[in-house]
């Protein structure tokens, strides 16, 4: 008999089984890596309007819109149309603005799912957002206002919020807020400090705004100048007319007190002094000093020291304006 032929069919089957095992192991490893890979969520933010920036209450009121999109292969379908589902019915991240206070939503919590598995979620909020402000330079201050956002939810993978490369975040050109000017804005991925020790990566839309101070100069600073200058009239009244001097000085003091009361609701209620507070304090101090000067010169006039009293008035005409201008420059410039 001849030599038996080798069993090629058996060998080929073993090779196929080994190949299938290797492919299965590779796919299992790839799936494990995919499960560990972060979920990239692309974010686009549009600030449609800013109704108010309240410095005293450390907040701003905004009309805000955001679009989120991410790819979830588990939600891919045959299509051909986009399907809509409630976001609570699928495994999806949730999004939270950390500084939102009282807000109202005008969109439903639904997502649009494309056949490819791309998920699109839209969010629109209107309401108040807190913003800590450093108001030392009030009313000549500039601030950065932020909408910091993080994701949360019971997901098996990390969620990273990224600025959408296909859609640019924007802020409207015409805003309702009248006493602020928008200087610029940006959207970025960065660490957000939750406490002094804890930070979390999130998405931040921020805009820089400058207070328009013309309103404060015309309505508050110039009238304050006039009240202080009114108190200087006493230096041009002869010390022998003590009644007239005292009348003007007391009137200027009472006017300034009334001005303080009227201005109280317009200034930020904070624990430190702003430029406006320092200017107001210097003005009050000089009006009071003018009243004291009147009392001193009146006593000198009654003591037959009229020449000395007139000399005090003469020097006060120069010292008080120079001092006030220096104080105003130090406080406001």
Mean pLDDT of the residues in the chain: 86
pLDDT value for 56 = 79
Banded pLDDT at 17 (limits 50, 70, 90): very low
pLDDT value for 10 = 40
Banded pLDDT at 158 (limits 50, 70, 90): confident
SS (H, E, C) the chain: CCCCCCCHHHHHHHHHHHHHHHHHHHHHHHHHHHHHCCEEEEEEEEEEEEEEEECCCCEEEEEEEEEEEEECHHHCCCCCCCEEEEHHHCCCCEEEECCEEEEEECCCCEEEECCCCEEEEEEEEEEEEECCCCCCCCCCCEEEEEEEEEEECCCCCCEEEEECCCCCCEECCCCCCCCEEEEEEEEEEEEEECCCCCEEEEEEEEEEEEECCHHHHHHHHHHHHHHHHHHHHHHHCCCCCHHHHHHHHHHHHHHHHHHHHHHHCCCCCCCCCCHHHHHHHHHHHHHHHHHHHHHHHHHHHHCCCHHHHHHHHHHHHHHHHHHHHHHHHHHHC
pLDDT value for 36 = 63
Task: Say whether pLDDT at 264 is over 80.
Answer: no
pLDDT value for 8 = 42
Task: Say whether pLDDT at 23 is over 70.
Answer: no
Selected residue with higher pLDDT from 220 and 11: 220
> What pLDDT, in 10s, does the model give residues 271-297?
888 898 899 999 999 999 999 999 999
Task: Say whether pLDDT at 25 is over 60.
Answer: no
Q: What percent of the chain has pLDDT over 70?
A: 89
pLDDT, mean of residues 186-206: 89
What pTM was estimated for this model as a whole? 0.78
pLDDT, mean of residues 175-201: 90
Out of 32-46, 71-85, 112-126, pick the least confident.
Answer: 32-46
Task: Say whether pLDDT at 211 is over 60.
Answer: yes
């Amino acid at each position: 008999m001849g030599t038996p032929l080798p069993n090629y069919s058996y060998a080929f089957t073993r090779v196929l089984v080994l190949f299938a095992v290797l492919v299965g192991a590779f796919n299992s490893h790839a799936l494990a890596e995919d499960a560990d890979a972060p979920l990239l969520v692309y974010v686009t933010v549009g600030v449609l309007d800013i109704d108010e920036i309240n410095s005293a209450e450390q907040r701003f009121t905004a009309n805000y819109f955001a679009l989120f999109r991410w790819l979830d292969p588990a939600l891919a379908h045959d299509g051909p149309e986009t399907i809509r589902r409630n976001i609570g019915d699928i495994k999806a991240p949730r999004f939270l603005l950390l500084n939102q206070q009282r807000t109202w939503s005008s969109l439903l919590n639904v997502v649009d799912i494309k056949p490819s598995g791309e998920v699109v979620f839209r969010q629109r909020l209107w309401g108040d957002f807190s913003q800590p402000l450093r108001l030392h330079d009030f009313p000549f201050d500039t601030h950065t206002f932020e909408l910091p956002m993080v994701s949360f939810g019971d997901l098996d993978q990390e969620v990273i919020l990224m600025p959408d490369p296909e859609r640019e975040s924007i802020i409207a050109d015409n805003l309702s807020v009248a006493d602020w000017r928008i200087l610029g804005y940006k959207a970025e991925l960065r660490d957000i400090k939750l406490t002094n020790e804890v930070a979390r990566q999130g998405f931040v839309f921020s805009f820089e705004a400058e207070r328009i101070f013309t309103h404060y100069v015309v309505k508050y600073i110039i009238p304050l100048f006039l009240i202080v200058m009114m108190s200087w009239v006493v230096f041009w009244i002869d010390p022998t007319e003590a009644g007239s001097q005292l009348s003007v000085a007391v009137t200027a003091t009472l006017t300034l007190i009334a001005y303080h009361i009227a201005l109280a609701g317009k200034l930020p209620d904070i624990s430190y002094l702003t430029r406006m507070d320092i200017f107001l304090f210097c003005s009050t101090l000089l009006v009071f000093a003018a009243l004291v000067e009147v009392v001193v010169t009146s006593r000198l006039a009654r003591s037959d020291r009229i020449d000395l009293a007139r000399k005090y008035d003469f020097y006060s005409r120069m010292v008080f304006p120079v001092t006030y201008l220096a104080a105003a420059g130090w406080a406001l410039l």
